């Protein structure tokens, strides 16, 4: 069984045949991806990555993960953007919501994240938390010079060596980096760290199914073979030979493009009614934002956690400017079962729910919300997921990746670069007086002086 897509509550906002009109353009985009004739064709390694992953490679990853699991109470994943969001999305989706607080399950180390911000309080609190703990580090950086990650790794490396000794630290620090060049590669070779390669032809936001995502997920105790199998099955289900009407990646890409170009919908809100999917939405936001937001084009990717955000953003979604559409990720069957109890006093008036599963209430909240939002003029798509496990998360990941590649090409942009990301870095380095940025530094100082 695969995840499924329902676009019926979206196409009703479009002219008849609007989605079908994209069939030939979608086919062109699919062929361009398959034949590597599209813009950014040197970053298409993700396209057939699931079916290229070998059993031996997964076993090698698992062996390193087992070493970290045996030797560490805590493992810090140091990375930013695509170097941590995919792993965090899967780990948060599958993990116990309160494991971070209680960690009663000593079989699995706590997984924490660093290198994704420059917050001094955050890093100081992290180093304090790690004191007197047996911790390891997975350092994820192609260059080794990305400021946020490099800063965090320097702190973590020093602390790990101080607490465990340099020799023992070598056994619990793993580098995921470039094959041959860069500061992280040089450091890994010099220190003797176990290392894995970030493929040259896979961009960060498409890297969940490389060691970037697979190693942290395995360390957390989850089945990376099942995750990859889900992605493999979705690769087949969204292949270029699958008819347009049956290909959910093609349908999703075409529907959102029709909403964007014909119905004036400039914002897509990915919603969930399962709190565990919060970071899956964060991963999705980067995937689509970095891929499509170019040349003054692109659907703005936003996310909401329902029902929580219905009590904050719900009013705007229901009655605000009609520039939005929603994609709901719906989990059909939760992993746990909890029945609503009887109360003799019934002060809250909820005895009518006695004996019902909490998820039944949640599902009616989901359906009621979709009906209300559609009635309020918000087109709505629904991604239905049978249950939340590694296999279906693998399907979700590849489905969104494949649809993103098609959608970006439909928008006539290069979905695989991110030139705009460098702008803030240049300014930051100039303001910090980094060597080599003298001219930029003077230009910024003159500008700031003139703005006073």
Nearest residue to 251 (alpha-carbon basis) of 8, 438, 415, 85: 8
What is the pLDDT averaged over residues 292-297? 96
Q: Is the pLDDT of residue 31 over 60?
A: yes
Split at pLDDT 50, 70, 90, the class of 100 is low
What is the pLDDT averaged over residues 159-165? 96
pLDDT value of residue 405: 98
CA distances to 11, 35, 263, 268, 307 from 322, in Å: 15, 38, 10, 11, 21
Split at pLDDT 50, 70, 90, the class of 299 is very high
Selected catalytic residue, list 92, 148, 268, 290: 290
Is 440 assigned a catalytic role? no
pLDDT value of residue 442: 83
Selected catalytic residue, list 166, 425, 426, 442: 425
Nearest residue to 254 (alpha-carbon basis) of 4, 1, 2, 28: 28
The 3-state DSSP composition of the chain as helix, strand, coil percent (nearest 5) reads 55, 15, 30
pLDDT value of residue 255: 98
Q: Is the pLDDT of residue 102 over 70?
A: no
CA distances to 233, 308, 392, 428 from 3, in Å: 10, 25, 7, 43
104 or 405, which is more confident: 405
Split at pLDDT 50, 70, 90, the class of 104 is low
Selected catalytic residue, list 106, 107, 311, 452: 311
Q: How far is CA 168 from the centre of its chain?
A: 32
pLDDT tens digits, 307-365: 999 999 999 999 999 999 999 999 999 999 999 999 999 999 999 999 999 999 999 99
pLDDT tens digits, 259-281: 999 999 999 999 999 999 999 99
Q: How far is CA 244 from the centre of its chain?
A: 26
What is the pLDDT averaged over residues 129-149? 92
Is 311 assigned a catalytic role? yes
Is 290 assigned a catalytic role? yes
């Amino acid at each position: 069984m695969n995840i499924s897509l329902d676009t019926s509550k979206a196409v009703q906002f479009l002219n008849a045949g609007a989605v079908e009109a994209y069939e030939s353009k979608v086919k062109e985009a699919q062929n361009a991806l398959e034949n590597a004739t599209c813009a950014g064709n040197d970053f298409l390694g993700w396209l057939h990555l699931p079916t290229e992953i070998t059993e031996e490679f997964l076993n090698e990853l698992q062996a390193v993960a087992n070493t970290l699991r045996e030797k560490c109470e805590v493992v810090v994943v140091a990375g930013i953007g695509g170097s941590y969001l995919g792993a965090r999305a899967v780990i948060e989706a599958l993990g116990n919501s309160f494991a971070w607080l209680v960690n009663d399950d000593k079989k699995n180390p706590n997984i924490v994240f660093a290198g994704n911000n420059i917050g001094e309080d955050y890093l100081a609190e992290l180093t304090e938390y790690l004191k007197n703990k047996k911790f390891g580090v997975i350092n994820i950086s192609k260059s080794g010079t990305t400021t946020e990650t490099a800063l965090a790794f320097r702190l973590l490396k020093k602390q790990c060596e101080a607490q465990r000794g340099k020799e023992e630290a070598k056994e619990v620090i793993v580098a995921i980096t470039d094959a041959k060049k860069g500061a992280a590669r040089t450091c890994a070779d010099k220190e003797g760290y176990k290392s894995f390669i970030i493929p040259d032809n896979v961009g960060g936001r498409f890297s969940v199914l490389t060691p970037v995502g697979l190693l942290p997920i395995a360390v957390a105790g989850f089945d990376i073979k099942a995750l990859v199998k889900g992605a493999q099955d979705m690769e087949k289900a969204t292949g270029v030979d699958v008819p347009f009407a049956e290909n959910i990646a093609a349908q999703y890409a075409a529907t959102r493009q029709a909403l964007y170009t014909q119905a004036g919908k400039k914002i897509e809100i990915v919603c969930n009614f399962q709190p565990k999917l919060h970071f899956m939405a964060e991963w999705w936001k980067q995937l689509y934002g970095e891929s499509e937001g170019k040349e003054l084009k692109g659907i703005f990717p936003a996310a909401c956690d329902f029902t929580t955000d219905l009590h904050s953003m719900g009013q705007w979604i229901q009655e605000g400017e009609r520039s939005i559409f929603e994609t709901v990720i719906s989990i059909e069957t939760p992993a746990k079962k909890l029945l609503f109890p009887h109360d003799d006093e019934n002060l809250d008036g909820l005895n009518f729910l006695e004996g019902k599963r909490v998820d039944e209430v949640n599902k009616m909240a989901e359906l009621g919300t979709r009906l209300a939002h559609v009635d309020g003029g918000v087109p709505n798509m629904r991604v239905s997921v049978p249950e939340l496990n590694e296999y279906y998360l693998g399907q979700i990941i590849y489905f969104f990746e494949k649809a993103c590649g098609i959608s970006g090409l439909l928008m006539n942009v290069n979905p695989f670069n991110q030139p705009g990301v460098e702008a803030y870095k240049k300014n930051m380095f100039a303001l910090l007086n980094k060597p080599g940025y003298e001219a930029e530094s003077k230009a910024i100082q003159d500008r700031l002086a003139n703005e006073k």
